[in-house]
Amino acid sequence: MANKPDNEKKVVFRISWFYIIFIGLLIWMFMDNSEVGPKKIEWAEVKEIWQSGDVEEVTFIRNEFEGEMTIKPDRVENYLDKFTEGMPKRSPHFTFMVSGSFNAENEFGALNDSLAVKMPEESVKVVVENREDWWSVMDWLFFPLILILMWVFMFRGVNKGAGGGGPGGVFNVGKATGKLADKNTVNVTFKDVAGLYGAKEEVMEIVDFLKNPKKYTTLGGKIPKGALLVGPPGTGKTLLAKAVAGEANVPFFSISGSDFVEMFVGVGASRVRDLFRQAKEKAPCIVFIDEIDAVGRARSKNGGFSANDERENTLNQLLTEMDGFGSNSGIIILAATNRADILDKALMRAGRFDRQIHVELPDLKERMEIINVHIRNLKVAEDFDLEFLAKHTPGFSGADIANVCNEAALTAARKDKNSITKQDFLDAVDRIVGGLEKKSKIITPEEKKSIAYHEAGHATVSWLLPNAHPLFKVTIVPRGHALGAAWYLPEERQLVTKEQMLDEMCSLIGGRVAEEIINGQPSTGALNDLERLTKMAYGMVSYYGMSDKVGNLSYYDSTGSRAYDLNRPYSEKTAELIDNEVKELIKMIHDRTESILRENFDGFNQLSAILLEKEVIFADDLERIFGPKAGTKPVEEPAGEPVEEPVEE
């Protein structure tokens, strides 16, 4: 059989050619062709240029309320400064817009008459016309055509995906967006995770099982199917997961909980199926779901109320994949959240998440290790004390400490220092917590006195009460939204007694009471103090059972299920009793605080005077006036941060 000549070969039109042609048309339609267009000017500029006699012709398009101005060829150089991007190659040189009430004949006639008075030989040619824009007609045809073509190809993709049994079709919207990582793409190891001793131990056990499975299987043991990392924001949950990815010699899939949920119905469930399909192909492997509360929130018991069928369908599919009839051997699920209280109970049960690994805020030793990690690449002073900074950052998370170290470096750089000193770190803590100092803020002398009395009240009461947090710095220099601030060094308590809470509440209201004693009336400066005081009072009465009349009852809901319940778990009579108890408690706190301030009025007055003079006082000043702090050793180092006492433990 003879071969066919080359000119008879069949030309196959591929769909990719269509895309190339389509994109080329779009570029041709909308690109500028590197040509500078006319300059748009205002009507006032039009009249000014007209009167100069440099205008050759003006064309007014009546149906578009737009004018075009052409400059005489020999006068174009006079307007080069108006064309920053270059002079237009073709006329017109300028365009202008006018309102619908513009009378072209009268306005242009008046301008020519005025020009004739100044320059009798000069006159501007005026053309008034209606213009049809054929491109607008093309828009009506072109863009609907684009929509039709896009619709056709969308359905083509849907049919292709459905026919092949794949997880989706519309631009692959049903496919999982998880990232596959291994030890070559992740540089974080357990050495980079400072502190978190208990959490690291449990996670390292999972990694060890993947590396040495026989060590556990010979005894008949089974590795947990899933582990849930629970803790406040910034404590290192995601960092711990990255360390697992860097340490484990197995594939590591990472995805965010919000990536499952889309506007299309069924997409979330499809992405869950696709994620586990990929994981099964790579088993043994680890799947990490960050912020799982976005998809794992407890399902509503009230049908239709606060319900989200798409999110619940996604959750149901996740529950099935984690522990259903299908086999997912070799797949370990890691998840992270700071809202474990709102997760669905079915998600939390054994067989899905066998372990809850609590990643808490670091203690003193752990903060020292975290600081040491973050200052590796910083040029700190030789006499820098890790323990000193760790003591002055209580309640800080790992992310907060990282921010402090970075801000300290920026602070030192602003001062043109060669190294970062202890004071730079303390300034960084003050700036992060309290905000930037605003010494230029205008404050009247009366307001300054009131602020000084307020902060001196806080300082006096907290210093004289044995269970109040030790104070070491007070300032009346505005920071952020605050006009003044008192810095405390809180004790790291695991349990708080009733007496300790009462002392803290007295310290909170000390500023308000001081204003009432000196000025005879309160001010709005105690807003934050009253807010925290009220929350603590209600917490004592309704949560912690510290009221004799209410009794040993707690109406705190640790599960979060009560959020969907419109009814309170107590009667109106009990609600009234709680309110009355809170009012009596706060009144008792107020009277006790007033008694403390009046008994130590001379010292309080002396402290206020020093504060007005220096604007910043430290624990040393309080010790000279009142003696050592009640119940504790005197504070030697002046530094620290303001701390807000939480309502709940």
> Where in the sequence numbering do the catalytic residues fall?
455
Contact, 271 vs 174, CB < 8 A?
A: yes
Tell me which residue of 647, 591, 635 sits closest to 459, measured CA to CA: 635
For 169-193, b/e burial (b = at least 16 CB within 10 A) is beeebbbbebeebeeeebebebeeb
Contact, 530 vs 513, CB < 8 A?
A: no
Task: Quickly tell me which residue has 């007005």 as its tokens.
Answer: 612
For residue 374, report the phi and psi dihedrals to the nearest 5 degrees.
-80, -15
Three-state secondary structure string covering 393-409: CCCCCHHHHHHHHHHHH
| Dihedral sign for Cα atoms in the order 392, 396, 402, 406 | negative
Contact, 475 vs 484, CB < 8 A?
A: yes
Q: How far is CA 319 from the centre of its chain?
A: 29
Contact, 610 vs 622, CB < 8 A?
A: no
Strands 471-475 and 485-488, by their bridges, are antiparallel
* Residues present in the chain in total: 649
For residue 573, report the phi and psi dihedrals to the nearest 5 degrees.
-65, -40
Q: What angle do the packed helices 43-51 and 104-118 form, to 10 degrees?
A: 30
Rounded CA-CA distance 513/586 in Å is 12
Question: What is the greatest pairwise CA distance in the chain?
Answer: 119
